[in-house]
Amino acid sequence: MVEGRKVQKVGRSTLAISLPNDWVRRTGLKKGDLMIFSQERDGSIRLVPSAYVSRKTEESLEAVINSDLCSVSKMLERMIIEYYMLGRDTIVITSHNNISGSHVEEIRGAVRKLMGIGIVEEVPNRIVLQCSIDNSRFPISTLMRRMHVNVTTMHSEVTQALHDASRALAQSVTRRKIEIDMFYLLIVRLLLSSQRSPMLAEQIGIEKPIQVQSYRLTTEYLERMSESLYSIAGALIAILDANKKLPEAQANDFSQMSELAKNLCDDVVQSFQSKDARLVNEIIERYESLKSQVTTAAASNQDSYDNELRIHVKNIEYDIRRIVDTGLKMASVALERTLES
């Protein structure tokens, strides 16, 4: 309901406006109560009773999980991760008896995957997890840039590992994947929390609500790329474990395509910030060209491979193609972002 109220002058310089009686009754507001107001980007003012803010915040930042109901393997771990992404600062896991050993391991497994969270209380039938992250101190663009740097490093290591048949580099890729997943979960947590708090959105650099979707998709595509790079590293390790080796021509083809895909990914992330439609369109064309190269290169010289090597080569080919397809989707998001501005 829209209602007009005249601004009144109180004293020599203070301007005041009366509050609607219906609203005052609904909120339970009384003389002496503290009001919280925030200036919105469109010039309006948001006014909320402080007691309501405190009550709402308290309710929204704690989650309670009954571990007795988590009868399926990994269900408890997944619920903890989901509550973390939903912005819960405190997650309490309970049991009518004692929390089982397998559930304790799932709790510890979840903690290892999440940034800024730890166990602050542990008794046989209750474990409390606390997240110490101050959401307002993590600009989304900075987190996404750090995640992209890690994906780029993974890409470089995969490219060199394919070229040199290096087990050490392939193993480094698998370790780096854990850190990328932590960044991904933290970014999703901040994006979801920003949708509930306009003030937080402004603090982390979300200028318009529609930007949440583009940041979420771009972050998700970077995470998918890391999954594919992790898979390529695993296939290479399996080849080396079997005392086999990629033929030099095939290794060079894969290494070259991986390097091209890395460069294109770097360009997409830069265009995401610069909002240059012409540059994004050029990147999309280059991705389409690389997609054709991947298909052509993968079809050559595989008839001479034994079955085990052929399977691994096909898996690497599939993952490189998936990286290119994911990059193409990410470029489409970057193009949409340029049109939004």
- Token code pair at residue 134: 């101050």
124 and 71 assigned to the same domain: yes
pLDDT at 52: 56
Are residues 189 and 171 in contact, defined by beta-carbon separation less than 8 angstroms?
Answer: no
User: Which of residues 113, 131, 149 is at a domain's end?
Assistant: 131
C-beta contacts of 20-29 below 8 A and 24+ residues apart: 27/52
In a domain, 189, yes or no: yes
244 neighbors 171 (Cβ within 8 angstroms): no
Say if 68 falls within a structural domain. Answer: yes
* Beta bridge partner(s), residue 127: 93, 122
Beta-carbon contacts of 18 under 8 Å, excluding residues fewer than 6 positions away, are 5, 8
Residue 117's SS3 state is strand
Task: Report yes or no on whether pTM surpasses 0.75.
Answer: yes
- Could you list the beta-strand ranges (E) of 112-250: 117-123, 126-131
The range of the structural domain enclosing residue 283 comes to: 136-340
Task: Please tell me the predicted confidence (pLDDT) of residue 76.
Answer: 97
**CA 37/CA 132 separation, integer angstroms:** 26
157 φ, ψ (degrees, to nearest 5): -65, -40
CA torsion through residues 254, 258, 261, 263, sign: negative
pLDDT by 10-residue block (mean), the chain, 341 residues: 79 83 81 76 72 51 92 95 94 95 96 95 96 89 93 94 92 91 96 86 86 92 96 94 87 89 90 83 89 72 76 90 92 86 60
Q: What's the pLDDT score for residue 31?
A: 83
- What does the alpha-carbon distance between residue 203 and residue 330 come to, in Å, rounded to a whole number? 25
Domain shared by 71 and 156, yes or no: no
> Phi and psi (nearest 5°) for 13?
-140, -5
Domain end position, chosen among 110, 131, 152: 131
